[in-house]
Amino acid sequence: MRSHLKPGTLAPLFILFMSICSLLSASAQSDGVDINILAVNDSGYPQIDVYLSVIDRQRLAVISSLDKTNFFGDTDNGQAMEVVEASRERRPLNVVVVMDVTGSVSQSELDNQRLAIAELTKGMTPADLLGVVVMDESRVRVAASLQNDYEAVLASLNTIQIREDATGNVYWDGVYEAASLLQTSAENTRRVVIIMTDVSPSGGEGTHAEDEILTLALENEIEIFGLYFEYEGDGIPEDPPVLPPELTLLSEATGGFTQGVPAETRRDDYTDDQALAPMMGNALGVLQSQYRVRFTVPIAADGTAHNFTVRVDVDGILTPPITGTFKAGEAAILITFPGITPEQNITLPTTMNFRVEPKQGAIQSVKVTAITGAGQEIELPTRGQYEVTLERGQFSPGLVTLVVSAQDSAGSQQESVLPLNIIDQLAVDWVSQPPDTVKADETVRLSANIGFAASVQQVEFLVNGEVVEMRDLGPFDAVEFQWTPSSKGDYSLEIVAQDIQGQRASAQAKITVQAAVSQTEKSGGLSGAFLAVLGLAFLGGVGLSAAGIWMLRRRPSPQFHPEIPMKTPQPTIADVPPPLPRKTVPASAEIEGPNGEHWRLVEGQNTLGRHSSNHIQIMDESVSRHHAVIEVISNHFYYMDLPSASHPSEMNGSLLQPEQRYELHHGQVIRIGSSLVRFVELDQSDGSKNYH
């Protein structure tokens, strides 16, 4: 048997595999137990059926002694899901086996692949389907389509021949073809690809890549298992044996596993392919059983998608959480905002229309609430079917969330949320409209509120277009000017505000000034003058009150800014010994997440990424499934981007080189995707944060 590895390729593959080992252990931290969500059925909402495999990684066998008390579930808003029942079930199997007939495969190895498929058929029922795909050095073909005539499938294997002098492989094309055959499988079937091979996909040719296969498998709930029978490199047995890292990672990410038996002991003694049938028996044992756990979800049926997590108690040890998704039924009431998109920029005042449509019955009540960035709730009146107005003076610039709640005649309730972004727009409004008519020599007080006054540079008072008074010292939330006309006539009054960008806004009024009051009229009008004074005092009080309310409402919205130390060393490539295997001994450091999470690091390797199998899971679409690893070695901490990272991490403004270790220091902030995380060293005596 000849190896497909070129000279010099084994070492980098080994380093990659050691990085991946930490990722694999993240899904098996509880004494080698791994749980995987195989499928979710939410058609009976608010009850959902979650199909799980619970595998003992040491024995490669299903843990079969669990009941409903061993399972725990939570929704993405932190609510516990009640476990109604848990049982072991066997769904019908749809299995496609990929056979390797590349140039490195001997006749004996081909025969043992046939025996392994025969072993698989022993555990299959008439309700199951089996297919076979053959991969050689340059092409892929379907040897047997999915069917339950197992004798016909086995007979088709006799026509398969090897090509001893051929070189190369189309490894991923074979797996992709097998997964494609399962896309049309019936609902409630367990879809599985099993590949038997003696080659690593590294350097393989073909048109499909690993990421494509992973996407296809996850979208169609396909599990991938690997049976590997090549344990030597360049003809020399490997110690310790190394499974193909890419296949191992792919199988773990889809709920399967990759296995091999290192039986080869000499350069001319290649016998590990004789273990193919027993390895196929291990895979079959796992496929014969799964858990169906039924949860009741405490979320109203509103048609929205939610994440949930499941943990399993195995012998008193709780496994790490694994994440799935469900749809919260169908909404009984449809609430929409035509022509408006979430986080749309708006200026005030603005009037918006929305629709409330019941699936059946009639709408009984509708309530609209606006929530400011500071958490203040303001109930807004509605008009017509249905219209709501956001007035100037109610809100400060920033995020405001509209919440529309409706209830129909059947008692069903629905809530829809629309975030809006109020942008800074300069505005001037009268506290109270100036009088239409005044007497000459009578003092007029003019009060105005200035919207978004924080950026105002100056305010002017104009009479008939001429500046009478100008102020350039704030505050400008509310202003008041006094004007005493000396002669009768028609006058145009205007208060103009200008911001630092040159934007201008104004409030205008027209006033007719009549002849001055005679002395006789003044003496006989004492009670009238007294009432006028009271009226002006009232107006002034209203202006001051409005100004106070405006200032209260202008409190800035809270913003999250991670603490970045004043001085942190620039990242440099670290020269460290080879990484240690992952342990569960806590280290004296943790990672702080973008949303306040805390992950305690452990000795060995700690992986970061979007997938739930990581030690540190970052729910950010810009983060790769398996993005980076933090290695803890002798109380030193090193950060490294994995080859699977779609784009480099950033530390102190510098992009990191892939597959290079960088030593971490206390307080260092790392940008991974669009998220910021921070490395924090802890006091080793009590585990508290050590801000030195």
Tell me the CATH number at 216. Answer: 3.40.50.410
Vertex 551, ends 547 and 553: CA angle to 5°?
A: 115
Determine, yes or no, domain membership for 554: no
**Cβ neighbours around 128 below 10 Å, total:** 22
Dihedral sign for Cα atoms in the order 235, 239, 243, 249: negative
pLDDT value for 171: 84
CATH number at residue 636: 2.60.200.20
Residue 18 has pLDDT above 50, yes or no: no
Q: Which of 266, 288, 310 is a domain's end point? A: 288
Name the residue type at position 394: Q
Output the pLDDT for position 8.
33
**Which band of pLDDT confidence, cut at 50, 70 and 90, is reported for residue 231?**
low
When mean pLDDT is compared across 196-210, 551-565, 633-647, the lowest value belongs to 551-565
Helix, strand, coil % over all residues of the chain, rounded to 5: 20, 40, 40
More confident residue, 239 or 470: 470
27-31, 119-123, 368-372, 626-630: least confident range = 27-31
Residue 333 in this model has a pLDDT that exceeds 60:
yes
Q: How far apart are CA 83 and CA 67, in angstroms?
A: 10
- State residue 567's pLDDT score: 37
Mean pLDDT of 39-65: 89
pLDDT recorded at residue 267: 46
Residue 594 counted as domain residue: yes
Looking at 399, 422, 445, the residue that finishes a domain is 422
Same domain, 158 and 218: yes
Residue 12's pLDDT is what? Answer: 36
User: What's the average model confidence in pLDDT over 531-560?
Assistant: 39
**Distances, alpha carbon 662 to alpha carbons 253, 399, 632, in Å:** 27, 38, 12
Residue 571 pLDDT: 57
Q: Where is pLDDT greater, at 541 or 379?
A: 379
From CA 150, how far away is CA 136, in angstroms rounded? Answer: 23
Q: What is the mean pLDDT of residues 168-173?
A: 85
> 114-123, 404-413, 482-491 — which one is most confidently predicted on average?
114-123
Q: What CA–CA distances, in Å, run from 686 to 388, 632, 681, 690?
A: 55, 19, 12, 10
**Residue 359 covered by a domain:** yes
Strand ranges in 489-546 using DSSP code E only, listed in sequence order: 489-499, 504-514
Do residues 465 and 399 both lie within one domain? no
Q: Is residue 475 part of a domain?
A: yes
Q: Domain boundary at 274, 309, 327, which?
A: 327
Q: How far is CA 589 from CA 219, 606, 638, 685, in A?
A: 37, 12, 12, 12
Percentage of residues in the chain with pLDDT exceeding 70? 79
Q: From 484, 420, 426, 429, select the one nearest 458 (Cα to Cα).
A: 426
Q: Please report, for the domain that includes residue 69, its CATH number.
A: 2.60.40
β-pair type (413-422, 344-346): parallel
- Say whether 201 sits in a helix, a strand or coil: coil
User: Which residue type, as a one-letter code, is found at position 98?
Assistant: V
The letter for the amino acid at 504 is: R
- Residue 66's pLDDT band (cuts 50, 70, 90): very high
- Do 82 and 97 lie in one domain? The reply is no
Task: State residue 238's pLDDT score.
Answer: 52
Q: Which residue has the higher pLDDT, 569 or 681?
A: 681
Give the count of domains, the chain: 5
- pLDDT the model gives residue 202: 63
Q: CATH number, domain at 362?
A: 2.60.40.10
Domain match, 106 and 215 both:
yes
Interval 379-401 mean pLDDT: 85
pLDDT interval class at 85 (50, 70, 90): very high
Q: Name the more confident of 475 and 379.
A: 379
Look at residue 114 and tell me if it is in a domain: yes
Residue 527 has phi, psi (to 5 degrees) of: -65, -35
pLDDT at position 184, please?
92
53 in the same domain as 141: no
Q: 112, 135, 272: which is closest to 195 by C-alpha?
A: 135
In terms of domains, do 347 and 276 share one? no
Residue 547 inside a domain? The answer is no
Does pLDDT of 86 surpass 80?
yes
Mean pLDDT, residues 11-25: 36
> What is the phi-psi region of residue 349: left when phi exceeds 0, alpha when psi lies from -120 to 50, beta otherwise?
beta
DSSP labels, 423-471: PP--EEEESSPPPSEEETT--EEEEEEEETGGGEEEEEEEETTEEEEEE
Query: What's 487's DSSP letter?
Result: S
Indicate whether 385 and 487 sit together in one domain.
no
In this structure, the answer to whether residues 105 and 233 fall within a common structural domain is yes
Q: What is the DSSP letter of 61?
A: E
Residues 609 and 644 in one domain: yes
Pairwise CA distance, residues 101 & 452, whole Å: 73
- Does residue 308 register a pLDDT over 80? yes
Average pLDDT, the chain: 80
In this prediction, residue 692 carries a pLDDT of 31
Report residue 64 as tokens.
């079969």
For residue 476, the enclosing domain spans 432-518
Please say if the pLDDT value at position 167 is more than 90.
Answer: no
Q: Are both 151 and 184 inside the same structural domain?
A: yes
Per-residue pLDDT, 684: 56
Do 499 and 385 belong to one domain?
A: no
Residues 513 and 492: their CA atoms lie apart, in Å, by 11
For 529, phi then psi, to 5°, come to -65, -40
Confidence of residue 294 (pLDDT cuts 50, 70, 90): very high
> How sure is the predictor about 689, in pLDDT bands with cuts at 50, 70 and 90?
low
Q: Which residue has the higher pLDDT, 471 or 562?
A: 471
Strand partners of residue 40:
50
Domain shared by 65 and 158, yes or no: no
Closest C-alpha to 251, from 185, 192, 325, 190: 192
Q: Which of the two residues, 111 and 543, has the higher pLDDT score?
A: 111
**What does the pLDDT read at residue 276?**
92
> Does residue 3 lie within any of the structural domains?
no
Q: Give the Cα-Cα-Cα angle 542, 543, 545 (nearest 5 degrees).
A: 65
Model confidence band, residue 627 (pLDDT cutoffs 50, 70, 90): very high
Handedness of CA 266, 268, 274, 280 (dihedral sign): positive
Instruction: List the alpha helices (DSSP H) in 490-525.
Output: 519-524
- pTM exceeds cut of 0.85: no
**What confidence tens digit (pLDDT) does each residue in 441-453 have?**
888 889 888 876 6
Quickly state the pLDDT bin for 28 (edges 50, 70, 90). very low
The pLDDT value recorded for residue 493 is: 93
203 located within any domain: yes
Q: Which amino acid, one-letter code, is at 534?
A: L
